Amino acid sequence: MTDVLKITDFEPHINSTFEIRFDDGGQVELELVDCSSETREDYDAFSLIFNGANDKPLPQRTYNIRHPELGEQQFFIVPIAPLESEKMTYEVVFNHMKK
């Protein structure tokens, strides 16, 4: 994976599973369901939308998240809304200044 992540790194993995593992051995799976981007004159920005189970919602914080092809990264994950009674929606936002 490159040092600067881009939306194109994630688009091929929409509908795939990302995993968060906890120190106590527990884990949570999140499904990447959408990627969207916004480009401005001085920066590039994109966001990732994940769905996860609603029975154990994740609090807003930084997590180590792993994908079989993308490896492990640290993402600041924000819960944005319950999608349905069984799912919770989360967002990860990236902003990069253009060189």
Domain boundaries, the chain: 7-97
Report the predicted TM-score, pTM, of the whole model to 2 decimal places.
Answer: 0.88
83-97 pLDDT, tens digit per residue, is 666 789 999 999 888
Mean per-residue pLDDT for 78-84? Answer: 81
Does pLDDT of 5 surpass 50?
A: yes
Q: Choose the CATH number for 7-97 among 2.30.38, 2.60.40, 2.40.30, 3.30.720.
A: 2.40.30
pLDDT digits (tens, 9 = 90+) for 33-77: 999 998 788 888 999 999 998 888 899 999 999 999 999 999 999
Output 24-31 pairs: Cβ under 8 A, ≥24 positions apart: 28/52, 28/53, 28/56, 28/58, 29/53, 30/65, 30/90
Asked if pLDDT for residue 1 goes beyond 50, the answer is no
